[in-house]
Structure 1
């Protein structure tokens, strides 16, 4: 019975992708994706997703390091807040960003009045929307890697007189590099496919905020074959990122498992 249910669960995940691949006009695929509008949306998607991933690394790794320390008071509340975007509908996230940074928003009013800065419906808004929905993926992946890492090396380095900054830079971060790479890959692919928060907070302006998911949605009514071609392109890009980092991701798991086993035996 468990095997049957597992097969059904696999079918739920795989069969839609099979249908997408079967409906793809492979002979016309190069011409469809070479359309200037598609290339423009693809370029914007890759650029904004890359920027989102870089910002997420700068902000997410320190946040994961804080969450990995159980002695921090209120860590459970902070972890709950970090995971909220995972269960929140993306459209609601876009509305929240609009109420925060819109011209009449909590902070946007001051930005517009004092500095003349308008965030919504710009490329920066796309990055912020993607960051809101994808940052938790990186934080949770890095936190899990930090919790599974062997802390005895860090303690030994501290005992030998190494500074906390040196231990973090030369001992801790290299040991959790597979987790950081996995989190960055998940963050990038999630940002690449973001739709709800982007269309609500950034809109859909060609060359400025119209990313590939938005272009796919708009093309469904007017050019369904092109929508399928763009969907396949996004699928291939996401799979390529995960496959490229698979070795680094899975390569760190045996070491983490061995470290946990050693601690249990000790």
Structure 2
């Protein structure tokens, strides 16, 4: 029965490759984030595949990267995780998702995905439903918004044109919450998203990729770099892993 014990261990290990099931409700506690007024508030669960933090503060004239705007245009943290079925995103920002375009204000941008990490952002996830796009829709993007800062931008801003590939989910808060990180009085807004990885087609599992977010002016932006695509679990392969291992268990029993 030693073989059975080994295979059972492999089965448990295979199942552990799945990301924890996130509730898409813009409450990021299931990512391991806290609000205790300490720098550790930004550190997620160890299982999260990639994350980036760049918390700043200040008034409207405070310099960010590459623009200005202080806390109201601060992108603070971006988190990426995935399992065999879904890509999960979490975002913390000082920018209110309800901010309109116009009158010196700039609305929220969309999540951008660059497979191959070559600056060509092939896909976008619509965050708020602007420009006649469907909130939560994953698009093969043919035209991106460019922001105010040209070549200084890390990536694009919002989806202007593209083909809808299918629907994910996007949820965000519209009331600012304080006491996260060392700038205790700053107000933060939270996004959470889930996308079926099958919508990425052959891109998923084939290449390394970046996830990028900014608002429409691109005053501040953030990018997270998940592990290389070669180690991204392909939906069909990983979904069949438990069935294959169960077959190995049966074979081990017959030999015993």
- Structure with greater Cα Rg: 1
Scaled to the shorter chain, the TM-score interval is under 0.3
Higher relative CO (Cα under 8 Å, sequence separation at least 6) belongs to: 1
Q: TM-score, normalised by structure 2?
A: 0.24
Higher strand share: 2
